[in-house]
Amino acid sequence: MALIALILLPAVGGLIAFFIAGQGERERWVAIATFALMLVLLVAIVAGAPEGRWYAQVSYPWVPSFGISLDFAMDGLSASLIAISAGLGIISVMASWSEIRTQSGLFHASLCWTVAATIGVFLSFDLLIFAFFWEAMLVPAFTLIAVWGHGDREGAALKFLIFNAVAGFGLLAAAFALASMADHMTFNAFELAEMKLSTSVQVWMLLGFSLAFLVKLSVPPFHAWLPEAHTLAPTAGSILLAGVLLKTGAYGLFRFAPMLFPQGLAAVSPYGIALGAAGALYGGLVACGQNDAKRLVAYTSIAHMSIVLMGIAAGVHYALAGAAVEMIAHSFSASALFLLIGALYERTHTRDLRQLGGLQQIAPRFAAAFALFCSALLALPGTANFVGEALVVVGIFQVNWVFALLALSTLIVSVIYATRLLKGLVFGQPRPNAPLADLNWREYWPVLVMSLATLVIGLYPQSLLALLEPAIKAALVLPLP
């Protein structure tokens, strides 16, 4: 019941924000209160959890004749991603406090609904309910980009919607095909996982699922929607896209690919690793050539999500643990960078690295924050990203050293783009040569929290790894060579 409340809370919060919007800032506080309540509820669920992998489970029939039921369950992985979603929800509201002035009610409602749908994705174990939330999150996120974005926002939003909605058909068709093979009509993932399917059938089903996941994960060549959606979205939209929406793709792959199609995943594992390695190199190299800071960070997201794909495809313990940590680390680093760049853009009206610089002289807090998160971008030891990427590389070494060398080379590329971003923004002559307001409290506190999270996970990853361990164990498909 508490799990359903966790989804209903932001859904209802969004409705309230929509209807009470008007003079003043009421809708912003409603949204913040909603996300804060979610965090409280989450803590309560985790604190009162029984022993074992699942903190809470619930099942209600939804459409009995089709065998669809509201099967929700939460383990450490879901709980950490939900915490991040709610936390980034609060941060999005704070980050858009001065940016969003029109249609504020609808904006905050869309924020709440995006989060509600992603929570649904993180909790569902019924494939059709999963697909329901999977597609439901597209609509409010589309609205966020289309209405409050910059430049050709409608085009970017349409691209985002069409890529992801079309890919969703792969998920739906594969789910129906899978259910039609069961002896009774069911979409419950635990029951479907019991089926003994031949490897070739598993591969086909996996391809259907992966279509949806890889597009959301934006692994090249499925990435074409991401650079524009991220660049043209309002700051809050970019934060949610990078911090939460991309993670749904990673989560879906992590959770369902090994669970439903273990032999199929093992069969395509080399291709998955190769695709991820190519994507990471491609994303990294393209990022190196960007002058628009936001676009640069968008391409680094492609690279990092490709590393997550490599980790999941490798299917060994280290790599999976690395992929899980990388998902969470990337949420902090990318969201923080989008927040900082958005704040900078509000002040200078440019994101062009050639027209910016010298922040360390004029805005030290900005500069320090950029320095920290650029280090996270290149996976400097001590940051959470290092833990994730190092574990992935170690895991891939156990599978195939050629791929591991490729993975290592992507880390070298990441040094190039991260230092380029750092140099362009923080060092050199102050540009534009005008007084620049440093981070205000609504920007400072979120950045501080995300910095602490990045450093704590980076310096002491053990508690997070312990939290994720049951989910990682469940995703193991390959025996160690």
Residue nearer to another protein on the CB measure, 172 or 476: 172
Closest approach, Cβ 119 to another protein, in A, equals 14
Residue nearer to another protein on the CB measure, 166 or 459: 166
Give CA–CA dist 226/296, Å, rounded.
Answer: 12
Phi first, then psi, for residue 25 (nearest 5°) are: -115, 25
Q: Is 24 left (phi over 0), alpha (psi -120 to 50) or beta?
A: left
Give CA–CA dist 374/240, Å, rounded.
Answer: 19
Closest approach, Cβ 237 to another protein, in A, equals 14
Q: Which two tokens stand for residue 290?
A: 């960007």
Are the CB atoms for 354 and 290 separated by under 8 Å?
A: no
Residue 380 vs residues 237, 299, 384, 449, 462: alpha-carbon distances, Å: 27, 19, 9, 19, 18
Closest approach, Cβ 97 to another protein, in A, equals 20
Are the CB atoms for 162 and 111 separated by under 8 Å?
A: no
Residue nearer to another protein on the CB measure, 244 or 471: 244
Closest approach, Cβ 155 to another protein, in A, equals 11
Give CA–CA dist 386/215, Å, rounded.
Answer: 25
Q: How many CB atoms lie within 10 A of CB 468?
A: 25
Residue nearer to another protein on the CB measure, 216 or 351: 216
Provide DSSP, 396-415: HHHH-HHHHHHHHHHHHHHH
Residue nearer to another protein on the CB measure, 62 or 345: 62
Closest approach, Cβ 367 to another protein, in A, equals 37
Closest approach, Cβ 335 to another protein, in A, equals 25
Closest approach, Cβ 170 to another protein, in A, equals 9
Are the CB atoms for 384 and 457 separated by under 8 Å?
A: yes
Give CA–CA dist 50/387, Å, rounded.
Answer: 29
Closest approach, Cβ 174 to another protein, in A, equals 9
Q: Which two tokens stand for residue 118?
A: 């992603």
- Our measurement of the distance from residue 389's CA atom to the centroid of its chain's CA atoms, rounded to an integer in Å, reads 16
Residue nearer to another protein on the CB measure, 155 or 430: 155
Residue nearer to another protein on the CB measure, 40 or 162: 162
Residue nearer to another protein on the CB measure, 49 or 158: 158
Q: Which two tokens stand for residue 473?
A: 């164990």
Closest approach, Cβ 171 to another protein, in A, equals 11
Residue nearer to another protein on the CB measure, 66 or 444: 66
Provide DSSP, 95-130: HTTTT--SSHHHHHHHHHHHHHHHHHHHHB-BHHHH
Give CA–CA dist 57/9, Å, rounded.
Answer: 18
- The footprint of another protein (CB under 8 A) covers 62-66, 103, 106, 128, 132-133, 135-136, 138-139, 142-143, 146-147, 154, 157-158, 161-162, 165-166, 169, 172-173, 176-177, 180
